[in-house]
Structure 1
């Protein structure tokens, strides 16, 4: 198997982190990967924050419905996109996945926490002082894995079809 597929197939959602710091080089490379991600009409409607301050991580963990573990992360990326851009969810999601895969390539685990359509999206935007024209797409807490679980996944034949879908 090639390296790219190894990274893609090996990625897991990580919710427990070691206290080991993520280097600035890794953070910069993850941001650069997001910057180079696919975007409709090359609009690049995103702005991405990196939070390392423990108090701010705690505040994010308290407002994010399914992100209580953010407080234990070494860093949290916050992906925002221009809410008036037609494809803001798609573009912001592409940037999110680029960050997650770039981090994993360095052995840094993360977990995609939904932002769009969540009640706390506006509160996170205000907390991080992001201009109103942006809306939260995702929060990505990150750190070196303290624990890796391997969830069961459906078989390929259960989720794919060729040419046209046929019910069994």
Structure 2
């Protein structure tokens, strides 16, 4: 798959098979991620790879409870209903969660980790895998309990929780709006 195909074909995948993702493939995705640019070439990122089913289930449960307690989004009836459902798995039963964290304070930590995340997701698409950035997990993973679950130090900042797995079906294309462009001469 060429780069253009990956860019135009990558979608958020929310249905996965139970098939595990090979460690060699996960290492290749992380290698693609670290090719991203980083401010002052610090490369101050850490990749936590979670494949333990019990820990994945705990992250889902704890993150839902945290969102319900702390998020303005949870005030919406839709999100309250979804997050209160014990059957709803915020990780969509994916076999892998990769959390990209900043390992050093930097004014550009979020940007650096986000660039690495996009590389990882494009590489996964090119490898026939699905991914989805799980915003619901971000709040809890940033707490002391969340960091402890990932064995992160208190100085680490979890930025990009990305699930990875084999998609059950191909995700449908999503229409894009025309870009708003201001040409300033």
Tell me if TM exceeds 0.5.
Answer: yes
Could you list the runs of 5+ residues in structure 1 that have no partner in the other structure?
none
Partner of 2:120: helix, strand, or coil? helix
| Structure 1 partner of 2:179 | 159
Pairing partner for 2:102 from 81, 86, 111 = 81
Higher relative contact order (CA 8 A, sep 6+): 2
Q: Distance in 2 between matches of 1:13 and 1:117?
A: 17
Offset at residue 151 of structure 1 (A): 5.3
| Structure 2 partner of 1:70 | 91
Pairing partner for 2:161 from 120, 134, 139 = 139
RMSD: 2.4
Deviations 1:64-119 (A, max 9, x none): 34783426111110111035211010001111111111111111101012379725
Of stretches 14-23 and 115-124 in structure 1, the one that deviates more from structure 2 is: 115-124
1:16–1:115 distance in 2 versus 1, CA, 3 Å: closer
Q: Distance in 2 between matches of 1:141 and 1:128?
A: 15
Count of residues in correspondence between the two structures:
162
Could you list the runs of 5+ residues in structure 2 that have no partner in the other structure?
65-82
Q: Equivalences for 1:14-93 in 2 at 5 Å? A: 14-65=13-64, 68-70=89-91, 72-82=93-103, 84-93=105-114
TM-score relative to the length of structure 2: 0.78
